């Protein structure tokens, strides 16, 4: 079982090493600390995840850091929630959308022109239609 703490509202200058130092100063233990960064700029997004070895240690980290002042901010600390990224199941089941659920796909294009539904748009589309 994972005992992960979400630590949010961090200033962008905070590093994983600094968080580890804060934890050590409070006699708190973390298996790992991951500051989340922007992939392009490498600047901190203002939050981190702290892996605690036990549920008790996780609760101690939350008690110490939730609403703790840092500069002009109050930190947020709470149990991390599972990711809800793209392609993740919703309520335990993957939801697939079929063409019928989206509509029949025969929308009228802008400008008022009607296109024939089955007419290929290019040579590639013609070849693809033959293969299918």
Closest CA to 37 of 26, 49, 25, 51: 49
Its domain, for residue 70, covers: 3-79
Domain annotation covers residue 91:
no
For residue 126, the model assigns a pLDDT of 62
For residue 39, the model assigns a pLDDT of 93
Model pTM score:
0.62
Which residue matches tokens 């995840």?
49
Domain annotation covers residue 97:
no
For residue 15, the model assigns a pLDDT of 95
For residue 33, the model assigns a pLDDT of 97
Q: What is the mean pLDDT of each run of 10 residues along the chain (132 residues)?
A: 92 95 95 96 95 97 96 95 65 44 48 52 59 55
For residue 95, the model assigns a pLDDT of 44
Domain annotation covers residue 125:
no
Task: Specify whether the CB–CB gap between 65 and 7 falls below 8 A.
Answer: yes
Residue 106: burial class (beta carbons within 10 Å; 0-12, 13-18, 19+): exposed
Domain annotation covers residue 108:
no
Domain annotation covers residue 69:
yes
Distance CA 53, CA 37 (A): 24
């Amino acid at each position: 079982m994972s005992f992960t703490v979400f630590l949010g509202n961090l200033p962008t200058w905070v590093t994983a090493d600094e968080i580890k130092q804060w934890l050590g100063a409070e006699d708190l233990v973390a298996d790992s600390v991951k500051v989340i960064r922007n992939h392009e700029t490498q600047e901190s997004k203002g939050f981190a995840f702290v892996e605690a070895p036990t549920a008790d240690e996780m609760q101690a980290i939350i008690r110490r850091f939730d609403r703790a002042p840092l500069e002009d901010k109050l930190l947020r600390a709470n149990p991390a929630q599972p990711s809800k990224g793209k392609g993740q199941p919703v309520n335990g089941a993957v939801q697939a959308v079929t063409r019928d659920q989206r509509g029949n796909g025969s929308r009228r294009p802008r400008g008022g022109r009607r296109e024939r539904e089955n007419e290929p748009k290019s040579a590639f589309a013609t070849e693809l239609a033959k293969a299918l």
